[in-house]
Amino acid sequence: MSDSDTFDPADPKNQKTVGNIRSDNPRMICRGVEVFYADKQAIFNISLDIGKNEVIALIGPSGCGKSTFLRCLNRMNDTIDICRVSGTIKLDEMDIYDPAIDVVPLRAQVGMVFQKPNPFPKSIYDNIAYGPKIHGIVTNRTDTDEIVEMSLRKAGLWKEVKDRLDQPGTGLSGGQQQRLCIARTIAVNPEVILMDEPCSALDPIATSIIEELILELSAQYTIAIVTHSMQQASRVSQRTAYFHLGVLIEVGPTDQLFTRPLHRLTQDYITGRFG
């Protein structure tokens, strides 16, 4: 294995992922995923399983392709004209890049929470009710009330907002907004929740609330989280995947990856030698 300065991601011998990419009980299976932005290749031949009810953390230096990979999982990359994805990604045996697949129900099954809280310019109630309404999950007011309360309770926001559901979601604090976005995602009853650095715009207290929330949610949902904080990865995830320059370098149980990394690059990153 070559030194980190002369690491060449296009070199096939460097593309073997160290560790176990498989999961005993997979919810999503990715094989040979590659993404191109126009002519530039962003990620190379990534194969990874995401297990049922596990939290998997995707870490790595900026620009390593972890967010790009995450956005492949619910086809959010479709919104970028110049982006092209190859390889297979399966959700419960269903190939999500199959031309016959409709992205609308897919995105209801694989929800996403973004880096910056992005509540809609609507009331708190409507923010939550929006998803269930467009998918026809609810048709009358009673059902909607119920799903709004249930989602807000799961996101740990109910007590704080139950008396002001009609007020704009944009009026909440940053941490509350992010929990609102999580509640909004839960409301359409997804199987997988993708989180793209959900705490990077939040203060430490809001961050710890969200981390607790992630742990609670993992009982019910499969969660893939991109994070820059290795402490966060070690607190919330069972498995961790380390990306470097568009390549998946190492996957393993979180405690093992942070204490006994197998790959030199992983070790360099977690000991803070670069990144």
Partner 1 sequence: MNPLHLLIVLLLLSSAGYYIGRKKAFAVAGGAQGIQKLHSRPVYYGALTAMWCGIPAIAVVAAWLAFEPSIITGLVLNGLPDEIRSLPDGMLNLLVNDIRNLVDGNIVSAASDPMIQQAADRYAHLKLISLTSLTIASVSLSLLALIFIRSRIVPNLRARNQVERIVRYLLIACSMIAIFTTIGIILSVLYEAIRFFQTVPVTDFLFGLKWSPQMAIRADQVGSSGTFGAIPVLAGTLMISMISMAVAAPIGLMSAIYLSEYANRRIRDMVKPLMEILAGIPTVVYGFFAALTVAPFFRDTGDFLGLSISSESAMAAGLVMGVMIIPFVSSLSDDVINAVPQALRDGALALGATRSETVRQVVIPAAFPGIVGSLLLAVSRAIGETMIVVMAAGLSANLTANPFQAVTTVTVQIVTLLVGDQEFDSPKTLAAFALGLLLFLVTLALNVIALVVVRKYREQYE
Q: Summarize as ranges the residues that interact with partner 1 (CB under 8 A).
A: 74, 76, 79, 81, 103-108, 111-112, 114, 116, 118-122, 130-131, 134-135, 168, 170-171, 181, 184-185, 188
For strands 26-37 and 40-51, give the pairing. Answer: antiparallel
Q: Taking the complex as a whole, how short is the minimal distance between the CB of residue 24 and partner 1, in angstroms? A: 29
Task: Rank residues 64 and 187 by Cβ distance to partner 1 and give the closer one.
Answer: 187
Q: Taking the complex as a whole, how short is the minimal distance between the CB of residue 138 and partner 1, in angstroms? A: 14
Separation CA 22–CA 27 (nearest Å): 11
Residue partners of 272: CB distance under 8 A and separation at least 6: none
Task: Rank residues 107 and 244 by Cβ distance to partner 1 and give the closer one.
Answer: 107
Task: Rank residues 37 and 130 by Cβ distance to partner 1 and give the closer one.
Answer: 130
Task: Rank residues 89 and 251 by Cβ distance to partner 1 and give the closer one.
Answer: 89
Task: Rank residues 1 and 134 by Cβ distance to partner 1 and give the closer one.
Answer: 134
Task: Rank residues 121 and 204 by Cβ distance to partner 1 and give the closer one.
Answer: 121
Q: Are 56 and 238 in contact (CB under 8 A)?
A: yes
Q: Taking the complex as a whole, how short is the minimal distance between the CB of residue 199 and partner 1, in angstroms? A: 16
Separation CA 165–CA 149 (nearest Å): 10
Task: Rank residues 45 and 178 by Cβ distance to partner 1 and give the closer one.
Answer: 178
Q: Are 263 and 18 in contact (CB under 8 A)?
A: yes
Q: Taking the complex as a whole, how short is the minimal distance between the CB of residue 188 and partner 1, in angstroms? A: 6
Q: From start to end of the chain, where are the E strands?
A: 18-19, 26-37, 40-51, 55-59, 83-91, 94-95, 110-113, 192-196, 222-226, 239-244, 247-253
Secondary structure (3-state) at 6:
coil
Task: State both tokens at 4.
Answer: 């980190």
For strands 239-244 and 55-59, give the pairing. Answer: parallel
Secondary structure (3-state) at 223:
strand
Q: Taking the complex as a whole, how short is the minimal distance between the CB of residue 181 and partner 1, in angstroms? A: 7
Q: Taking the complex as a whole, how short is the minimal distance between the CB of residue 106 and partner 1, in angstroms? A: 7
Task: State both tokens at 93.
Answer: 């045996």
Q: Are 12 and 5 in contact (CB under 8 A)?
A: no
Task: State both tokens at 42.
Answer: 């962003």
Q: Taking the complex as a whole, how short is the minimal distance between the CB of residue 111 and partner 1, in angstroms? A: 6
| Residues facing residue 26 across a β-bridge | 51
